[in-house]
Structure 1
Amino acid sequence: MVDALRSALPADRLLLDPDVVASYVHDEAEWAPHGEPAAVVRPRSAEEVRAVVLACVETGTPVVTRGAGTGLSGGANAVAGCVVVALDAMNSIVEIDTLERYAVVQPGVINDHLREACAEHGLWYPPDPASSPWSTIGGNVATNAGGLCCVKYGVTRDYVLELQVVTGSGELVRLGRRTAKGVAGYDFASLMVGSEGTLGIVTEVTVRLRPLQHPPRTVAGYFDSIVDAGRAVAAVAAAGLTPSALELVDRQCLVAVDAWKNMGLAVDANVVLLGRVDTPGVEGDAEATRMSACFDDAGATWSAVSTDQAESDALFAARRLAYPAMERLGPVLTEDVCVPKRHVPEMLARIEAIGRRHDTVIANIAHAGDGNLHPLLVAPRDDDAARDRARAAFDDIITAALELGGTVTGEHGVGLLKMDGLARELDPVVLAMHRAVKAALDPHGILNPGKIVAT
């Protein structure tokens, strides 16, 4: 297999040094297993990706694709003897079409880099996962990433128009179309979004763009209780408000961020809700005032529409830094459940109870506006008993989300960590449909095997 890759690719594309290879074997999912790859390839073109897949088809070698490795489900983890295809070197913005409002990019383009390039043309790419300064568009497509703005503007799938993909048989195809409308045939482009490299390898992405977002107003609310903060989330929805962001972050996370980055976050609250409204003019002013009232009615100890943009930006920056800040304190097992907005208070209460029941520290961040909760389960290093308790708490959180009509993953993907949860969430007939699609599009079974749905 390695000889075949040497013959098919320029020499600098193939990485075999064990120390270098070791940096590509897993993503950021704590405790997700991984194997040792035979090689890592960093292709520069779709044709080179195709050459890798054809070589792996010939030898029956598994192929695991990765972007920046920021995933949190183990979806990019190597399996034993595989070839890891790292797409980070395919990082060109091919085109920004201002008339049709779309951008064509290679999969290794960093999310924030695309947003910055679009802004130069007065355009905006809304999906903004908390990892947007580091994660790639290809990885965002693989997991159907969401982010802070998705409560109003939707997730990655809502913006993907067209994909160039290498199939499990080594064919290079285009899926979808760049026209504003089109319903010819099955929607294979949408099928690829969220498939985590199990159905094909994305080598180019065309995404729709919007006009630049209006300057937002920030509404902050402080709460003694995480359940009260959850009630405020439900109250905002009941009031008919659609914020451009509504984020929850608890004191544990803010303290961890401040200790790491020394941002001077003087927050006297157990939980903070951060809302944003980007409706222009007096209507936006009125929406921000109504959101603040919703916070107060739900039990906020303090709320206000911010007049200090620097302070607002610092709080949202702290929200993005919460996960890596907590990770510095010890291994973090990250949840990603999503429940209906009306059940956010109940779900947060259950998470608190689960933490107490399993004697596990659980910090909380959330895309609260759309019910996507990210409890962070912290266990001390080298404490096997604490890890076992955290795993049990992880499973109980999944159970609670399903009982409340939710899903096991809102945006991080199934990968390895959520396979059991997915089997509980989906009907057996639907699981069989998944396996049938996988067999049809990956007939040799080489694309990211053992992920999402067990075969």
Structure 2
Amino acid sequence: MDALAELVESLPAGVVVTDGDRIEKYRWDRSQDPHAGTPLAVVRAEDAGQVQTAVRWAARHDLPVVPRGAGTGLSGGASAVDGGLVLTLERMTAIEVDPVCQVAVVEPGALNKDVKAAAAKHGLWYPPDPSSYEICSIGGNVATNAGGLCCVKYGVTTDYVLGLDVVLADGTLVTLGGTRIKDVAGLSLLKLFVGSEGTLGVVTRAIMRLVPAQVVGATLVAALPTMTAAAEAVVAIRRSLRPSMLELMDQPSIRAVEAHRPMGLDTSAGALLVAQSDAPGSACTAEVEAMSAACRAAGAGEVFVTTDADEGELFVQARRMVIPAVEVLGELMLEDVGVPVPRLPELVDAVARIAERHDLLIPVVAHAGDGNTHPLIVVPRGDDAAKLRALAAFEEIMHAAIALDGTITGEHGVGRTKKSALPAQLGEDVMALTRRVKDALDPQGILNPGAVL
């Protein structure tokens, strides 16, 4: 029996996909990495046991395994490898909420939105909310330590992971953490796997902390003359406040959204700041007044405040819509760089200079409250010269962030598209330590090879 036939025989009918046409859709994630390979097969695992079977088979035959969730990643972390195995967790979608412990026990293929919905039935909330929350999976969120619009106040995925079941590179299934809020027994191995992008193990179950349901008291929208002025308003706000949302859209982003789906946005504004407060009672009023004052001091021509939840959500949806709206303009190279909040004005200025130097359109949106920006490099379709300029701009933006004591990725992960700049951020000693951890847990180097390192 050849190796592939052995794999097919060891798993239930329909779990292993070998047909070329059906394999094709599993080659890329949303980053559309042009270097994605063609896998030997795709395993659509239905439970942890099948994940173990697939990983053990790959280890025996020394073949690479690329774990995959919903395929919404933006850094090439789920790009297939030639001759390897794509291990997709999309069929593992179970969700169980324990309202007493205030946790959700979730399989990795469950979508972020479905976890939120399940929690809401018990008056609870799962805060991490990437803009793609409707289509991204919890497994992918754990793999990249995803953040989102509410992370300025409520933190990112790692802040909500209480437990994980992980299949290691030799097929061993380990259980880390649990429903306990406090647990310091042994080394903190649990968090080692959060953000590891499938390079250390495959998550088959996650225990996620929930919190009482959020009640948004007010939404503020401010139109500012420039992105730099908006960034300065953010710095002023964050000196004394931690609102539940603090997002920025620059003028090209505003115009792209308005062209894609007219919403009455002010397309003459240099930037829009979208903020929310979920503070109770008079504290909400005080928070909104302070944010309004900061925006006006930065030159805001208009500051609009609403306590109508539906009206406020329209502005939040406009912010979430930016990437699909900008995609209409051309192919995208999506950045995810972050800096300490006080250096946010310097970063947006640096991106503007890079765009001008390379004659490129680079709209910028930001989870501004924590300094995380998403410059969206637009490449006109079919323009090879622009693609070369975009590649250069992509590298320059990462190094601009590093120079400002920042990071090449705040929430999308390193994947394959950003790993060239990782040593510049971490330094050789930390890179060497990272390789030692990888070698200890995956001595054959079969788990997501080519990603991160």
> So what's the TM-score if we normalise by structure 1?
0.97
Partner Cα separation in structure 1 for residue 370 and residue 82 of structure 2: 38
1:140 aligns with 2:133: no
> What's the RMSD between the two structures over aligned residues?
1.2
Partner Cα separation in structure 2 for residue 366 and residue 336 of structure 1: 9
Counterpart of 1:303, as a letter, is V
Aligned to 1:85: 87
Aligned to 1:416: 416
Aligned to 1:400: 400
Aligned to 1:435: 435
TM-aligned CA deviation for residue 297 of structure 1: 0.7
Counterpart of 2:37, as a letter, is G
Equivalent residues in 2 for 1:47-446, closer than 5 Å: 47-93=49-95, 95-238=96-239, 240-446=240-446
TM-aligned CA deviation for residue 409 of structure 1: 0.5
TM-aligned CA deviation for residue 216 of structure 1: 3.2
Partner Cα separation in structure 1 for residue 243 and residue 76 of structure 2: 31
Counterpart of 1:181, as a letter, is K
1:90 is paired with a residue whose SS is: coil
- Runs of 4+ more than 4 Å apart: none
Pick which of 106-115 and 324-333 moved more: 324-333
Partner Cα separation in structure 2 for residue 190 and residue 434 of structure 1: 14
Query: Which residues of structure 1 form unaligned runs of 5+?
Result: none
Q: Which string of whole-angstrom CA distances, capped at 9 and with x for unpartnered residues, describes residues 344-382 of structure 1?
A: 011111111111011111101110000000000101111
Partner Cα separation in structure 2 for residue 20 and residue 262 of structure 1: 37
Query: Which residues of structure 2 form unaligned runs of 5+?
Result: none
Partner Cα separation in structure 2 for residue 399 and residue 437 of structure 1: 26
TM-aligned CA deviation for residue 294 of structure 1: 0.7
Partner Cα separation in structure 1 for residue 346 and residue 115 of structure 2: 38
Counterpart of 2:318, as a letter, is A
Partner Cα separation in structure 2 for residue 104 and residue 247 of structure 1: 30
Counterpart of 1:52, as a letter, is A
Counterpart of 1:340, as a letter, is P
Aligned to 2:23: 21
Q: Which string of whole-angstrom CA distances, capped at 9 and with x for unpartnered residues, describes residues 220-242 of structure 1?
A: 1101211001101101012x110
Pick which of 420-429 and 226-235 moved more: 420-429
Q: State percent identity of aligned pairs.
A: 48
Pick which of 273-282 and 309-318 moved more: 309-318
Q: Which string of whole-angstrom CA distances, capped at 9 and with x for unpartnered residues, describes residues 77-105 of structure 1?
A: 00111110111110111x21111111101
Partner Cα separation in structure 1 for residue 434 and residue 357 of structure 2: 35
Aligned to 2:9: 7
2:225·2:270 contact (CA, 8 Å) conserved in 1? yes
Partner Cα separation in structure 1 for residue 192 and residue 77 of structure 2: 17
2:75 is paired with a residue whose SS is: coil
Q: Which string of whole-angstrom CA distances, capped at 9 and with x for unpartnered residues, describes residues 110-155 of structure 1?
A: 0011101101101111000111000000000000000001000100
2:321 is paired with a residue whose SS is: helix
1:160·1:205 contact (CA, 8 Å) conserved in 2? yes
2:363 is paired with a residue whose SS is: strand
1:338·1:410 contact (CA, 8 Å) conserved in 2? yes
Partner Cα separation in structure 2 for residue 126 and residue 234 of structure 1: 23
> So what's the TM-score if we normalise by structure 2?
0.97
Partner Cα separation in structure 1 for residue 388 and residue 444 of structure 2: 36
